[in-house]
Amino acid sequence: MNQPQAPLGALFAAPAITVTRRADGTTLVENPVALEPYARCVGEYLEYWADEAPERLFLAERSPAGLWAGVTYRQALDKVQRIASWLLERGYGPGRPVCVLSDNEVNHGLLMLAAMHVGIPYAGVSPAYSLLSKDHAKLKNLVQRLDPALIYVGGAGKFQAALAAIEGLHHAQVVVADEDALPTEAALHFSDLLEKVDLAAVHRAYAAVTPDTVAKILFTSGSTGYPKGVINTQRMLCASQQAKRQVWPFLTEQPPVLLDWLPWNHTFGGNHNLNLILANGGTFYLDGGKPVPGLFDTTLNNLREVAPTLYLNVPKAFDMLVPALREDADLRRNFFSKLQVIFYAAAALPQHLWDGLIELSIQELGYAVPMVTAWGSTETSPLATDCHFQADRSGVIGVPVPGVSLKLVPSGDKLEVRVKGPNVTPGYFNQPDVTAKAFDDEGFYLIGDAAKFADPARPEAGLVFDGRVSEDFKLMTGTWVSVGNLRVKGIEAMTPVAQDIVVTGHDRNSVGFLIFPNIAACRRLAGLADDAAVADVLAHQAVRDRVSAGLRALHAASQASSTYADRALLMADPSSVDAGEITDKGYINQSAVLKQRAALVDALYADEATGDVIYL
């Protein structure tokens, strides 16, 4: 790269990798640096920082008055011990988890930490299952499977329908925020859990927690059926944070500051981000915004006040952040003022966003802030590889972190990745049959992703994400289509129209796109009002012309029928939570969309052209 760079050596460990090619055709990829000793449990982080930096702000959120309010490390430990004491007094233990239905908030975090502190599992359930679902089917299923001892909801008024839907399906104590009306006579307010403390009982239970104690049950967003409950042990969470500290040693030099919205019921927000702050004595500002129209302004307002040292987010957020940074000098100045690292995960970052962030950081600081990523899943807690160096393009997922072994297994024309290490789950909650199928005969977890070396001659240059093995398909010609790569290229070619793309063409003659549009960007492109009807926006010639131009650009840059689409259809209906088409992080589920919208796929390939289909 020719751009001025930040002094990377002061931030990251040098990438190290060993490659062993075996006679059976598989390849082992490992980090030669040993994983150093790690904490026994997450509670050790809280105990340490409550003693080391008792008055440092740990968790903060906006008060009703709009000011930042929260808890210091000393206050957090005191409240965690009080909540833990209440849980123990009620006889709760490892067999029945504490379940949270609502969004991130300080009380949510304290309850989570309190449960884990004394060996009671925490189970976060996606708020979308309560607030966006029409039938609450997933919520009902998860509550019945979990059989929780306690259910907490903040903002209980919004959850009335959800609580009514699960009434009679559980025997849990319902707890709500202090400002909420009690939904039933038996319900409690959060402050009721804080009234007294039996420290001796808490200390006994805390001392009994081991690395193999179940810390969390986190649910995947499964493409079919109901989500699977992934067991997360204390070992997984603590090994993952120790590996992070070894590859990001700068974390130990000054307390990190993070503004984050990513949901704690997912591994990115709840394990990687929250635990990163806790393990390193940092400050976590809870972002009440998120990257959706109408809510991202809250994020931007927060970023005008909070100067993060780290910015960890999903590509959809960067898609909304980059234009705002270009337009607002004060926002740009504050955002970059203390920023050490930009980190993206959960999906590939389109190249135009990568280039835009580099351009903006050079404009503001005179050098490119390192833009890095990592790779893993809920089952790997989540850190398996880390790109702790400045790659020259998006998509490089780095090298295995200390303690992790990868096995690359030939699968068609790709290399399937399998994972082993102390960060990997022992299995799925109450699903032994699913657990048995999740590992190969050497104990490697079958994650389902593919990867390849960025530079086969230089393994230390890292691995490149090469899509989902299960998502790729063959055209009728027998040619494989790499869905992940083509999706990213399609979004890039159709900027700003395409928010996301689902790739079609299995057993057909050509590739097609189902395009989930960025409606706000399409309105601007078409010169329409902010409240223009979606149907009018998608029918506008300027929008359709932009899609046509993108199809032509892809075709011009392609050398095979598997690397471009010759037709596209704009989706008027947004992706559905109930149908599993989209996750909380805004990631489109390819297989679920294809299943739910099979009629639209058929229309895309109909013999008689329809007016809605846009052709090359």
Q: What is the pLDDT of residues 397-419, one digit of tens each?
A: 999 999 999 999 999 888 999 99
The percentage of residues in the chain with a pLDDT greater than 90, rounded to a whole number, is 84
Burial of 121 from C-beta contacts in 10 A (0-12 / 13-18 / 19+): buried
Q: Is 165 found in the same domain as 133?
A: yes
Q: What is the pLDDT of residue 473?
A: 85
Q: What is the pLDDT of residue 1?
A: 42
Q: Quote the number of domains for the chain.
A: 3
Stretch 168-188: mean pLDDT: 96
Residue with tokens 């009018």: 536
Q: How far apart are the first and last CA of the chain?
A: 34
Q: Is 382 found in the same domain as 277?
A: yes
Read off the DSSP letter of residue 99: E
Q: What is the pLDDT of residue 125?
A: 97
Mean pLDDT lowest among 75-89, 134-148, 246-260, 601-615: 601-615
Whether the per-residue pLDDT at 190 is higher than 50: the answer is yes
Residue 220 lies in a domain: no
Per-residue pLDDT tens digits for 305-336? 999 999 999 988 999 999 999 999 999 999 99
Residue 374 lies in a domain: yes
Q: Is 284 found in the same domain as 250?
A: yes
Read off the DSSP letter of residue 214: E
Sign of the CA dihedral 489, 495, 496, 498?
negative
Q: Are strands 614-615 and 565-570 parallel, antiparallel or unpaired?
A: antiparallel
Residue 231 lies in a domain: no
The percentage of residues in the chain with a pLDDT greater than 70, rounded to a whole number, is 97
Q: What is the pLDDT of residue 6?
A: 61
The residue among 449 and 211 whose pLDDT is bigger is: 211
The residue among 578 and 30 whose pLDDT is bigger is: 30
In this prediction, residue 200 has a pLDDT band, given cuts at 50, 70 and 90, of: very high
Residue 423 lies in a domain: yes
Q: Is 252 found in the same domain as 106?
A: no
288, 234 in Cβ contact below 8 A? no
1 three-state secondary structure: coil
Q: What is the pLDDT of residue 9?
A: 65
Stretch 237-258: mean pLDDT: 98
Q: Is 518 found in the same domain as 463?
A: no
Q: What is the pLDDT of residue 220?
A: 87
Residue 65 lies in a domain: no
Per-residue pLDDT tens digits for 261-315? 999 999 999 999 999 999 999 999 999 999 988 999 999 999 999 999 999 999 8
Whether the per-residue pLDDT at 608 is higher than 90: the answer is no
In this prediction, residue 225 has a pLDDT band, given cuts at 50, 70 and 90, of: low
Q: Is 381 found in the same domain as 242?
A: yes
Last residue of a domain, one of 451, 468, 485: 468
494 three-state secondary structure: coil
Q: What is the pLDDT of residue 597?
A: 96
Both tokens of residue 388?
Answer: 């702790």
Stretch 442-470: mean pLDDT: 92
Residue 89 lies in a domain: yes
User: Cα separation of 351 and 277, whole Å?
Assistant: 29
Q: Is 435 found in the same domain as 296?
A: yes
Q: What is the pLDDT of residue 133?
A: 87
Residue 491 lies in a domain: yes
Q: Are strands 565-570 and 511-517 parallel, antiparallel or unpaired?
A: parallel
Q: Is 446 found in the same domain as 542?
A: no
Q: Is 440 found in the same domain as 340?
A: yes
Q: Is 547 found in the same domain as 498?
A: yes
Q: What is the pLDDT of residue 3?
A: 61
CA 311 from centroid of its chain's CA atoms: 13
Whether the per-residue pLDDT at 442 is higher than 90: the answer is yes
Instruction: Rounding to the nearest 10 degrees, give the CA dihedral for residues 52, 56, 61, 65.
Output: 150
Q: Is 370 found in the same domain as 388?
A: yes
**Nearest-5° angle of CA 247, CA 335, CA 365?**
80
Q: List, in sequence order, every beta strand (DSSP E) within 236-321.
A: 257-260, 283-286, 310-313
In this prediction, residue 187 has a pLDDT band, given cuts at 50, 70 and 90, of: very high
Phi and psi angles of residue 551, each rounded to the nearest 5 degrees, phi first: -60, -40
In this prediction, residue 526 has a pLDDT band, given cuts at 50, 70 and 90, of: very high
Q: What is the pLDDT of residue 333?
A: 98
Stretch 103-115: mean pLDDT: 99
Q: What is the pLDDT of residue 587?
A: 73
Residue 219 lies in a domain: no
Give the CATH number, domain containing residue 439.
3.40.50.12780
452, 415 in Cβ contact below 8 A? yes
Mean pLDDT lowest among 125-129, 362-366, 563-567, 583-587: 583-587
Mean pLDDT lowest among 39-43, 106-110, 480-484, 571-575: 480-484
Last residue of a domain, one of 430, 449, 468: 468
In this prediction, residue 585 has a pLDDT band, given cuts at 50, 70 and 90, of: low
Both tokens of residue 274?
Answer: 């929250």
Q: Which of 410, 390, 395, 322 is nearest to 360 (CA)?
A: 322
Both tokens of residue 239?
Answer: 């090994």
The residue among 133 and 341 whose pLDDT is bigger is: 341
Task: Give the residue numbers spanning the domain of 455.
Answer: 8-39+236-468
Stretch 88-115: mean pLDDT: 98
Instruction: Rounding to the nearest 10 degrees, give the CA dihedral for residues 17, 20, 24, 25.
Output: 50
Q: Is 457 found in the same domain as 416?
A: yes
Q: What is the pLDDT of residue 223?
A: 47
Stretch 355-368: mean pLDDT: 96
Amino acid (one-letter) located at 556: A
pTM: 0.86
